[in-house]
Amino acid sequence: MLLDPYIKVKPGVVLFGVHPIMITSAITVAGIYKKYMYECWITGGREGSHSARSLHYKGFALDWRKWTVPIKHRRSFVEEVQIALNRGLLNAAQNADTPLYINKEFQMIIEKTHFHLELDDKK
Ligand SMILES: [Zn+2]
């Protein structure tokens, strides 16, 4: 399989055209779901049901299942994901000759129905 076999993809989710860095990040995200034995699902990709200016359409956002993570763990779970991904990003920026990673950061936002993960400009 393309991704870590631990990752399940909700039917209808379009991954084609999602930027490779998001796919790479998915492996890290899945590792954290797996560490706590939470089921891991990608629930949103490039398909259309996001706000007009959403990074989903540019391939720089993925949605993740929220309800498999217990409520009391969600905030620290999201922080753990962000720390792991941004550490990876920093490492890549130092070791790869690509401007893509400069001044960017991963943000995972707790939305009403899911976790929204995006790679965005550093604020
Ligand atoms: Zn989203």
User: Does a structural domain hold residue 92?
Assistant: yes
Sign of the CA dihedral with 47 first, then 49, 55, and 60 last: negative
Burial category of 8 from C-beta neighbours within 10 Å (exposed 0-12, middle 13-18, buried 19 and up): middle
Report CA(1)–ligand 1 centroid distance (Å): 23
Report CA(121)–ligand 1 centroid distance (Å): 16
Burial category of 13 from C-beta neighbours within 10 Å (exposed 0-12, middle 13-18, buried 19 and up): middle
User: Reduced to 3 states, what is the DSSP secondary structure of residue 44?
Assistant: strand
Give pLDDT tens digits for 44-79: 999 877 777 899 999 999 999 999 999 999 999 999
Report the relative pairing of strands 104-110 and 61-65 from DSSP bridges.
unpaired
Per the structure, the complete domain to which residue 103 belongs is given by 7-121
> In the structure, what pLDDT confidence band is assigned to residue 2 with cuts at 50, 70 and 90?
low
Whole-prediction pTM: 0.91
What's the structural domain count of the chain? Answer: 1
Report CA(50)–ligand 1 centroid distance (Å): 7
User: Does a structural domain hold residue 2?
Assistant: no
